[in-house]
C-alpha cells in the first residue's frame, strides 16, 4: 500500500523537498503550480540485497495549464478537470513510461522508494458517482503494484511464480503543504532560514571541535567518531531547534524581518556558546 506522510512546512528545502525547493530557487514557478520529485533506487533482489548503482531523482513542475475531460451526462456535457498536467503525471508519462520493461531501468533495474509532492497527490475525479479518470494517487498505486510484481525478478519461470507480488517495494509519498499560499511563503522564507542555519552551524561546529581538540587531544578519551559524527549531529539539531520557524511568525512576515529575527537568534546562541 502507498503510504502518505505529512511533513512539517518548516522542513521545506531540506531532505525530501530539497530538489523541489531548488527548482523554485532556480526558476520562476508560480506557487499555484506543484512540484514533485520521484526518488529511485537500484531494485533489491528477492533477498532484499540492493544491486549496485546510485539512487537518482526526477523532479518536474506541473504545467500550470488545466486539462479537462468532456463527460457526457444524460442531458448535458460537463468538463471535469483531470490530472494530466500535474507534476506527478508529467514524471510518470514523460520520464517513466518509456523506461518500463527496459533492462537496467524501471522497474527491472530501478524502483521508486519515495515520492515528494508539495501538495498531496490528488484523488480520482468523480462526477455523479462515476469515476472519470485516475488521480495521481491511483497512478502511483499502480506503479507500486507494477514494481512489486515478481516477474521482474524471476522472469516467466512458473516454478518461481512470476505472478506473485513482493511486499517490500512499497512507495512512501511525502508532502508539505495544503495551499499555494503556504508554498509561496515557504519559497520566500526557506532560503533565508537555510542560509543562516548553515552559517550558524559552521561557526558552532568550528567552535565545538576546536575546544574538544584543545581539551582532549592526545588523551585516551579522544573519540574521533564523537568529534566528527555525533558532535555535528548534535550541533545541527541544536541549530534547528534554536532558530525561529516561519510557521510561528505572523502571516505576511517579510523576508527582511525574518532575516533579522534569525540573525539575532543566531548571534545570541553564538555569544552564549563562546562564553562557556
Check residue 137 for interaction with Zn ion (CB under 5 A).
no
- Distance from C-alpha of 54 to C-alpha of 82, rounded to nearest angstrom: 34
CB of 86 or CB of 197, closer to Zn ion: 86
- Distance from C-alpha of 12 to C-alpha of 19, rounded to nearest angstrom: 10
CA separation (Å) from 268 to 94, 238, 243, 261?
49, 13, 10, 11
**Cβ 111 to Zn ion shortest distance, Å:** 21
Check residue 117 for interaction with Zn ion (CB under 5 A).
no
DSSP 226: I
CB of 61 or CB of 136, closer to Zn ion: 136
**Cβ 209 to Zn ion shortest distance, Å:** 46
Peptide bond into 107 cis (omega under 30): yes
Question: Would you say 48 and 78 are in contact if contact means Cβ atoms under 8 Å apart?
Answer: no
Based on the number of CB atoms within 10 Å of its own CB, is 147 exposed (0-12), middle (13-18) or buried (19 or more)?
buried
Q: Which part of the chain contacts Zn ion (CB under 5 A), choosing from 48-56, 120-128, 200-208, 260-268? A: 120-128
Check residue 136 for interaction with Zn ion (CB under 5 A).
yes
What are the cell numbers at 9? 512546512
Question: Would you say 52 and 44 are in contact if contact means Cβ atoms under 8 Å apart?
Answer: no
110 DSSP β-pair partners: 42
Query: Nearest residue to Zn ion, using CB?
Result: 136
**Cβ 57 to Zn ion shortest distance, Å:** 19
**Cβ 20 to Zn ion shortest distance, Å:** 15
- Taking residue 9's Cβ as centre, other Cβ atoms within 10 Å add up to 19
Check residue 176 for interaction with Zn ion (CB under 5 A).
no
Number of residues that bind Zn ion (CB under 5 A): 4
**Cβ 92 to Zn ion shortest distance, Å:** 10
Q: Which part of the chain contacts Zn ion (CB under 5 A), choosing from 74-82, 133-141, 205-213, 251-259? A: 133-141
Q: In this structure, what are the phi and psi dihedrals at residue 24, rounded to the nearest 5 degrees?
A: -70, -35
CB of 10 or CB of 118, closer to Zn ion: 118
What is the contact mask toward Zn ion in residues 50 to 89, using x (rule: CB under 5 A)? ---------------------------------x--x---
Q: Of 267, 259, 276, 154, give the one whose Cα is nearest residue 210.
A: 276
Q: Which part of the chain contacts Zn ion (CB under 5 A), choosing from 12-20, 117-125, 126-134, 194-202? A: 117-125
Where do contacts with Zn ion occur on this chain (CB under 5 A)?
A: 83, 86, 122, 136
Amino acid at each position: 500500500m502507498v503510504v502518505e506522510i505529512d511533513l512539517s512546512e518548516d522542513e521545506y528545502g531540506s531532505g525530501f523537498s530539497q530538489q523541489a525547493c531548488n527548482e523554485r530557487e532556480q526558476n520562476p514557478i508560480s506557487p499555484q503550480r506543484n512540484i514533485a520529485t520521484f526518488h529511485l533506487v537500484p531494485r533489491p533482489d528477492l533477498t532484499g540485497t540492493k544491486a549496485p548503482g546510485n539512487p537518482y531523482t526526477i523532479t518536474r513542475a506541473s504545467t500550470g495549464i488545466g486539462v479537462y475531460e468532456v463527460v457526457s451526462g444524460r442531458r448535458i456535457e460537463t468538463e471535469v478537470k483531470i490530472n494530466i498536467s500535474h507534476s506527478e503525471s508529467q514524471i510518470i508519462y514523460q520520464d517513466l513510461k518509456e523506461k518500463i520493461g527496459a533492462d537496467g531501468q524501471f522497474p527491472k533495474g530501478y524502483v521508486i522508494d519515495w515520492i515528494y509532492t508539495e501538495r498531496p497527490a490528488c484523488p480520482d475525479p468523480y462526477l455523479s458517482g462515476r469515476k472519470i479518470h485516475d488521480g495521481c494517487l491511483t497512478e502511483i498505486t499502480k506503479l507500486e503494484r507494477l514494481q512489486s510484481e515478481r516477474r521482474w525478478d524471476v522472469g516467466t519461470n512458473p516454478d518461481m511464480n512470476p505472478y506473485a507480488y513482493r511486499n517490500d517495494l512499497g512507495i512512501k509519498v511525502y508532502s508539505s503543504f495544503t495551499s499555494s499560499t503556504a508554498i509561496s511563503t515557504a519559497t520566500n522564507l526557506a532560503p533565508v532560514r537555510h542560509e543562516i542555519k548553515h552559517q550558524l552551524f559552521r561557526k558552532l561546529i568550528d567552535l565545538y571541535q576546536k575546544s574538544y581538540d584543545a581539551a582532549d587531544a592526545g588523551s585516551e578519551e579522544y573519540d574521533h567518531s564523537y568529534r566528527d559524527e555525533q558532535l555535528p549531529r548534535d550541533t545541527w539539531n541544536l541549530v534547528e531547534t534554536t532558530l525561529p520557524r516561519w510557521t510561528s511568525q505572523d502571516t505576511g512576515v517579510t523576508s527582511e524581518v525574518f532575516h533579522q529575527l534569525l540573525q539575532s537568534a543566531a548571534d545570541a546562541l553564538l555569544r552564549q556558546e563562546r562564553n562557556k
